[in-house]
Amino acid sequence: MNVQRGLKGVIATETSISEVDGSNGRLIYRGYEIRNIATGNSFEEIAHLLWFGELPSGEQFEKFKSTFASYRNLSPTMQKVLSVLPVEMDMISVVRTVISSAGDRSMSWKPTIEEAMKLTAVVPTIIAYRKRSLEGGKIISPRLDLTHVENYLYMLNGIEASAEQIRALETYMILTMEHGMNASTFSARVTASTESDLVSAVTSAIGTMKGPLHGGAPSEVIALLNELSEVEDKKNYLRDKIVAGEKLMGFGHRVYKTHDPRSLALKETLSGLVGKDRWLDLALEVESTAIDVLEELKPGRGLYTNVEFYAAAIMKAINMDSSLFTPTFTASRMVGWSAHVLEQAEDNVIFRPLSRYVGK
Q: What is the tally of helices (H) and strands (E) in the chain?
A: 17, 3
Share above pLDDT 90 across residues of the chain, in percent, rounded to a whole number: 51
User: What's the pLDDT band for 273 if we cut at 50, 70, 90?
Assistant: low
Residue 24 burial (10 A CB sphere; 0-12, 13-18, 19+): exposed
Residue 104 burial (10 A CB sphere; 0-12, 13-18, 19+): exposed
pTM: 0.89
Residue 13 burial (10 A CB sphere; 0-12, 13-18, 19+): middle
Query: Residue 192, Cβ neighbours under 10 Å: how many?
Result: 30
The residue with greater pLDDT, 7 or 174, is 174
**pLDDT tens readout for residues 97-132:** 999 999 877 788 899 999 999 999 999 999 999 999
Angle (nearest 5°) at CA 23 between 19 and 29: 20
* Identity at 183, one-letter amino acid code: A
> Per-residue pLDDT averaged across 208-219, rounded?
76
Task: Say what the pLDDT of residue 222 is.
Answer: 81
Q: What sections of 135-272 are H helices per DSSP?
A: 148-157, 163-175, 183-193, 198-209, 212-215, 219-228, 234-243, 261-270
**Range with the lowest mean pLDDT among 52-56, 216-220, 236-240?**
216-220
Helix (H) or strand (E) holding 315: helix 307-317
* Nearest CA among 80, 53, 83, 56 for reference residue 68: 56
Residue 72 near residue 151, CB atoms below 8 Å: yes
Domains and CATH numbers, the chain: 26-216+322-346 (1.10.580.10), 219-317 (1.10.230.10)
Task: Say what the pLDDT of residue 229 is.
Answer: 84
Task: Say what the pLDDT of residue 259 is.
Answer: 67
The residue with greater pLDDT, 278 or 98, is 98
The residue with greater pLDDT, 271 or 240, is 240
Task: Say what the pLDDT of residue 261 is.
Answer: 76
* Nearest CA among 18, 202, 37, 42 for reference residue 123: 202
Angle (nearest 5°) at CA 54 between 111 and 311: 85
**Phi–psi pair at 55, nearest 5 degrees:** -75, 140
In our burial notation (b when 16+ CB lie closer than 10 A, e otherwise), range 29-42 reads bbebebbebbbebb
> Per-residue pLDDT for 137 more than 70?
yes
Angle formed by the axes of helices 325-346 and 43-52, nearest 10°: 20
Task: Say what the pLDDT of residue 285 is.
Answer: 85
The residue with greater pLDDT, 51 or 230, is 51
Q: What are the catalytic residues?
A: 253, 308
Cα–chain center distance at 104: 26
**pLDDT tens readout for residues 150-202:** 999 999 999 999 888 898 899 999 999 998 999 999 999 999 999 999 999 99
**pLDDT tens readout for residues 285-337:** 888 888 888 888 877 676 777 777 888 878 877 888 888 988 999 999 999 99
Residue 2: left (phi > 0), alpha (psi -120 to 50), or beta?
Answer: beta
**pLDDT tens readout for residues 24-76:** 778 899 999 988 898 889 999 999 999 999 999 888 999 999 999 999 999 99
**Phi–psi pair at 300, nearest 5 degrees:** 80, 0
| Neighbouring-strand partners of residue 314 | none
> Per-residue pLDDT for 217 more than 60?
no
